[in-house]
Amino acid sequence: MRKQLDGLVDIIQYSLQMDTYSNSLFLFCGKRADRIKAVHYEGDGFGLFYKRYENGRLKWPRTGEEARQLSHQQFCWLLEGLNPEQPKAVRKWAPQKPGKPGNSL
């Protein structure tokens, strides 16, 4: 977590090959997974957000292949120190169409 704003922007642009000027929030986590930094372009400059958790650790991807997009709700869970993949959260459900096997209607 030694990198400051310019170093993180360089990682986004050159290592991740992503557009730093997009409407995205880029999150970075330290080795101990007890702090995060967030980088966001706000139209007139970059913003840097830093949060350190006093008790506990984050569940965080360790490789580039594990990195992914988060929904707004998952991001809120992450900031609250929860796992963004809430196994007990109610998942979306789509009813089966009439006439398909397994449908009791």
Tens-digit pLDDT profile for residues 47-104: 999 988 888 888 777 666 677 788 888 888 888 877 777 766 677 778 888 876 655 5
Whether 60 is in a domain gets the answer yes
Whether 88 is in a domain gets the answer no
- The confidence score (pLDDT) of residue 88 equals 66
Whether 49 is in a domain gets the answer yes
Whether 58 is in a domain gets the answer yes
Count of beta carbons in the 10 Å neighbourhood of residue 47: 12
- The confidence score (pLDDT) of residue 16 equals 84
Distances (CA, A) of 28 to 39, 51, 104: 8, 11, 48
**Cα(102)–Cα(105) distance, rounded to whole angstroms?**
9
Spatial CB neighbours of 26, under 8 Å, sequence gap ≥ 6:
8, 12, 18, 20, 38, 39, 40
Whether 95 is in a domain gets the answer no
Whether 14 is in a domain gets the answer yes
What are phi and psi for residue 76, nearest 5 degrees? -60, -45
- The confidence score (pLDDT) of residue 19 equals 93
- The confidence score (pLDDT) of residue 73 equals 85
- The confidence score (pLDDT) of residue 103 equals 52
- The confidence score (pLDDT) of residue 49 equals 93
Spatial CB neighbours of 29, under 8 Å, sequence gap ≥ 6:
35, 36, 37, 58, 60
- The confidence score (pLDDT) of residue 101 equals 63
Is residue 25 scored above 60 in pLDDT?
yes
Whether 73 is in a domain gets the answer yes
Domain that holds residue 63: 5-79
When divided into structural domains, the chain yields a total of: 1
Range 27-50 average pLDDT: 91
Whether 21 is in a domain gets the answer yes
Q: In what order do the strands lie in the sheet with 35-41?
A: 25-29, 35-41, 46-52
Range 5-25 average pLDDT: 91
Would you say 24 and 18 are in contact if contact means Cβ atoms under 8 Å apart?
yes
